[in-house]
Amino acid sequence: MFGLIDNSKIFSITSKAPKYVFFVFVIVLSIGLLEALVLSPEDYIQSHSVRIMYVHVPSAWISIGIFFLIGILSIGSVIFKNKIFSIIAKSLAPSGLVFNIIALVTGSIWGKPTWGTWWAWDSRITSMLILCLFYILYILSWRIIDDKNKLNKITSLIGILGLINIPIIKFSVDWWSTLHQPSSVRLLEKTTIHSSMLVPLALMTAAFALFSLLIFLMKYNTELIKIKNKGLDRL
């Protein structure tokens, strides 16, 4: 079913799309940054350090979302024995790792003036660090394993193992007492962020998602070229 997709068609998309995505990304990012750094109001208690949240929260969302996708794609790869899932997951990983690191670093920078500490071993922060280790493990295993047959299995397994961590990150703040505050933006309950602060948050999330898409398209394009050069007409 998935083998029928024409690689040359996909290639023509992945080789041309990045410049358009980049164009939209720059526009959304500029408006987002303008909103986040200038136009949005300061917070009643943390004053200007609230602006760190506009980078921290979208990066955390994107990094968790991308790993969730990697996990699902890994399951698909194992069940259908189709390498295309693994190649997509592999191309998604780098931007996920980058946003994971950004989330950890900005969280630390925000934590010092607000909490009074750079780091706390609470369950939310620790599980995000574990996600980061999973990303590193996942990306490294693509590089260090030479055996083609094992490569697919091992990387997929890491993706599936890491999937267990995703709900732990999400619900850590509800299940246990943590220093990290509970979620402000929820699907079923009222959002506890004022609407004037939601605008930059949404814009920055869109910008980061576009950036991930851009990196993904470029990585995927490279993978397709690699497959082409090896003289394989299909995956």
Partner 1 sequence: MYGKKVKLRIIFLSIIFLILLLTVFFVLKSLEENVVYFKSPTDVKEITEISEKKIRVGGMVKKGSVVLSSDKINFIITDFKNEINVVYSGAVPNLFAEEKGVVAEGILRDRNFLKAKKILAKHDENYMPPEVKKALEEK
Residues in contact with partner 1 by CB under 8 A are 41-46, 50, 53, 75, 78-81, 113-117, 120-123, 160-161, 164, 168, 176-179, 181-184, 192-194, 196-197
Q: Between residues 66 and 125, which has the closer beta carbon with respect to partner 1? A: 125
| Structure tokens that stand for 68 in this block | 């969730």
Q: Quote the CA–CA distance of 198 and 195 in Å, as a whole number.
A: 5
Distance of alpha carbon 220 from alpha carbon 22, whole angstroms: 15
Supply the minimum distance, in Å, between the C-beta of residue 177 and partner 1.
5
Q: Rounded to whole angstroms, how far apart are CA atoms 193 and 184?
A: 6
If the CB atoms of residues 18 and 162 are measured against partner 1, the closer one turns out to be 162
Nearer to partner 1 by Cβ, of 17 and 153: the residue is 153
**b/e string for 208-224 if b means 16 or more Cβ within 10 A?**
bbbbbbbbbbbbbbebb
As measured in angstroms, the least distance from the Cβ of 174 to partner 1 is 11
Compute the least distance from the CB of residue 173 to partner 1, in Å. 9
Q: What angle do CA 223, 224, 230 make, to 5 degrees?
A: 90
Taking the complex as a whole, the smallest distance from the CB of residue 134 to partner 1 amounts, in Å, to 13
Whose Cβ is closer to partner 1: residue 24's or residue 161's? 161
Beta bridge partners of 62: none
